[in-house]
Chains A and B, each alone.
Chain A
Amino acid sequence: MSDTRYGRAITRALNDAMEADPSVIVMGEDIGAVGGPFGVTRGLQKSFGSERVRDTSISEAAIVGAAVGAAMTGLKPVVEIMFMDFTTFTMDALVNQAAKAHFMFGGQVSVPMVLRTPHGGGINAGPQHSQCLEAWFAHVPGLKLVCPSNPADAYGLMRAAIDDPNPVIFVENKAMYGTPGKLADDPEPVEIGKARRARAGSDVTLVAYGAMVAEAIAAAEVLSAEGVEAEVLDLRSLQPWDKDQVLASLSETHRMVIVHEAGVEFGIGAEIAAHVADAGFDELDAPVLRVGAPHMPVPFSRELEAEYRPNANKIADAVRRVMQ
């Protein structure tokens, strides 16, 4: 075991994957010589050279489109899109090309690529540099989607994403790059599609992912003092998501609150709640609640953004409502 950080763990995963497989390449804007705006690719160009660790122009559509073509031709590209907001430029490559190639071409090819991108607010980066757009990708058949909440999962999910023969969107959280944690000396991939129990509890299940896992745990600690024990499930994968573990937890607690930083309306939580209302109907003792961002752009000012974002207090309030 050694100490690491969320961003460093991703660096190590990229490094280990590149060492293990010469077909892995990394591309993005200022990711080579400088090591990326958030430092996640630092050192890779030095280790693997500028052919495999490529600086690009400011050309998101072409970078991701090229990743699709390279993946269809035997490489395993990992591309960085500097802010999730800029994935708007990459939608054709992902939605019309990468996601469909395997199916549309009768199973002849797959597109083993990873798109890494940070989402999330908390640093007053404003409406075009803070968005959590993951629900868009979860809606597209053919794409996989993961969002780690801690360094060990960041490592394990990145290794799994690179190994996966399908296009995987790997969502990072820009406010979490410095978050500390432990990493095994010989860390393993984390299977895509499997949730993790982050806290045990018997009264209510909190389903969260990314930065909201820590908020859910903080809420659970507060609630514990009030005599309510919350189980916290860290989804880790959003497409596919771990329906079995979510339903298994519900059958113990009979209450559920789903938490994400992304907007509530038409979001990941809406899908989970709908599934639970169907497959878990007999287990429910209270309505399933969702905690997430209101239906508005991410505002800039400190006060507005603080009120916009979900947090432990809002989660605890929702739990108190389902416990009534």
Chain B
Amino acid sequence: MRISGEVMTKKRNDKSDTDLLGLYRKMRVIREAETALSGLFANNEIPGFIHLSLGQEAVAAGVCDALRDGDTLASNHRGHGHALAQGVSLDQFFLELFGKDGGICRGRGGSMHIADMSVGMLGANGIVGGGLPIALGSALAHSIKKSDQVAVVFFGDGALGEGAVHEVMNLAALWNLPLLMVCENNGWSEFSRSSDQIRAEIGDLAKAFSIPFERVDGTKVRDVRSMTADLCDRLRTGQGPAILECLTVRWHGHYEGDPQKYRAEGDQETATSTDCVALERDSLIGDGFDAATLDALDAEVKAEVEAVVIAARNGASPSFATALGDVHRNTIGSHHV
């Protein structure tokens, strides 16, 4: 099979029609963007603190690629990949991380608060578990509006400690809502192994609430994508919520600059030896794509990120007066969507 390097942005659920290069490109964009961010942060160019999802790209890309226009998404503190895979523009993303006026949130939110209502991205979140009730409400809105859209929420394995997660499972099941809860299980809850904090398996929790549950290898983007598509098919026909657990690896520290003294010797090497982007590249080669096509795509993404970084670094700063005047929406009756 040979396909041109042209990327389709249309989202499809039909796996035979999947744009494999588009899927790969999504991962590549996240990888390049976050690799660049790691360097920029070390260079003190990015204010605040950032949590990178390097190693976890296949989850974001696989899930978001299976969604349709109009679906909604809530994310967490490790949300760069989710935002980019959902279609937040690369330049507005970087402008936000630099704290610039042209950022998607006008420099007011930063890394942990990337949101873009135009692509259904309801927001990353600085509050662990914070996205779940929001996604529940979004699913409720889809349901009340009698649409066949779904709401998706990404959360980590550590978030299972928060009561809201369990409350959301209950209500989603009780109300039969089109909510896909995606648990990105990277084994870590900040500086601790999640197994030292959480007694229950998420699959058993799902069972307790009678919610269909699937577990996939979250480093295999095609598996993530097809499982998401299958689950969303069910959700779209009113069959209630689902939980998808994606087993994945966290390459970097909890936050950039984390000295990771808590990490056992060799653990990071083990993690980085699983490279979901490289795995998919190998699969593409196996499918008959030639290396030159993939090299060209990789180079194009890298160049795009480099150009965006240069532009974002030089972006205009936000105005304080404008920000201060924008605490409330000032026009009665208007709405964001």
Contacts and interface: CB of A to CB of B under 8 A. Distances in A.
Contacts of B47: 124, 300-302
Instruction: Find the residue from A61, A129, A295, A308 having the highest chain B CB count within 10 A.
Output: A129
A58 B262 contact: no
Contact of B110 (A29, A58, A85, A124): A124
B110 A300 contact: yes
B48 A126 contact: yes
B270 to A, nearest CB: 20
Interface string A110-152: 0000000000000111111100000000000000000000000
28 contacts: A33-B191, A34-B261, A34-B262, A57-B158, A57-B197, A57-B198, A58-B129, A60-B162, A61-B163, A85-B127, A124-B47, A125-B49, A127-B109, A127-B126, A128-B113, A299-B107, A300-B48, A300-B105, A300-B107, A300-B109, A300-B113, A301-B47, A303-B99, A303-B107, A303-B318, A303-B320, A304-B108, A304-B323
Nearest to B110: A300
Nearest to A83: B126
Contacts of A37: 190-191
Contacts of A125: 48-49
Nearest to B100: A301
A123 B113 contact: no
Nearest to B262: A34
B128 A58 contact: yes
Interface in B64-120: 99-100, 105, 107-113
B317 A295 contact: no
A22 interface: no
A72 to B, nearest CB: 21
Contact of B190 (A29, A59, A129): A29
Instruction: Find the residue from B108, B160, B190, B317 having the highest chain A CB count within 10 A.
Output: B108
B324 A296 contact: yes
Interface string A17-33: 00000000000011001
A62 B166 CA distance: 13
Contacts of B327: 295-297
B75 to A, nearest CB: 13
A86 interface: yes
A317 interface: no
Nearest to B112: A126
Interface string B25-50: 00000000000000000000001110
A280 interface: no
Interface string B188-210: 01111000111000000000000
Contacts of B162: 58-60, 89
Contacts of A89: 162
The interface residues of chain A, by DSSP majority, are classed as loop
Given A59-B161, A124-B99, A126-B113, A296 B323 contact: yes
Contacts of A33: 191-192, 262
A308 to B, nearest CB: 7
The bracket for how many chain B residues form the interface is 35 or more
A127 B159 contact: no
Interface string A210-247: 00000000000000000000000000000000000000
A210 to B, nearest CB: 21
Contacts of A34: 191-192, 261-262
Interface residues of A, number: 35
A300 B192 contact: no
Nearest to B326: A296
Interface in A46-93: 55-62, 85-86, 89
B324 A294 contact: yes
Contacts of A55: 192, 196-197
Contacts of B198: 57
Interface of B: 47-49, 99-100, 105, 107-113, 125-129, 158-163, 189-192, 196-198, 261-262, 317-318, 320, 323-324, 327
Instruction: Find the residue from A34, A124, A301 having the highest chain B CB count within 10 A.
Output: A301
Contacts of B125: 128
A81 to B, nearest CB: 12
A3 interface: no
Contact of B191 (A30, A129, A297): A30
B108 A307 contact: no
B163 A301 contact: no
B159 A58 contact: yes
A85 B107 contact: no
Contacts of A127: 108-109, 113, 126
A126 B110 contact: yes
B126 A58 contact: no
B317 A30 contact: no
B117 to A, nearest CB: 17
Nearest to A301: B99
Contact of A307 (B49, B109, B192, B320): B320
A123 B192 contact: no
Nearest to A128: B126
Contacts of B126: 85, 126-129
A174 to B, nearest CB: 11
Nearest to A86: B127
A35 to B, nearest CB: 9
A124 B320 contact: no
Interface string A288-313: 00000011110111111001100000
A301 B113 contact: no
A300 B2 CA distance: 46
Nearest to A88: B127
Given A58-B129, A124-B47, A129-B126, 4 more contacts: A30-B191, A33-B262, A128-B113, A297-B108
Nearest to A299: B108
Contacts of B160: 57
Contacts of A297: 108, 327
Nearest to A126: B110
Contacts of B318: 299, 301, 303-304
A74 to B, nearest CB: 26
B317 A303 contact: yes
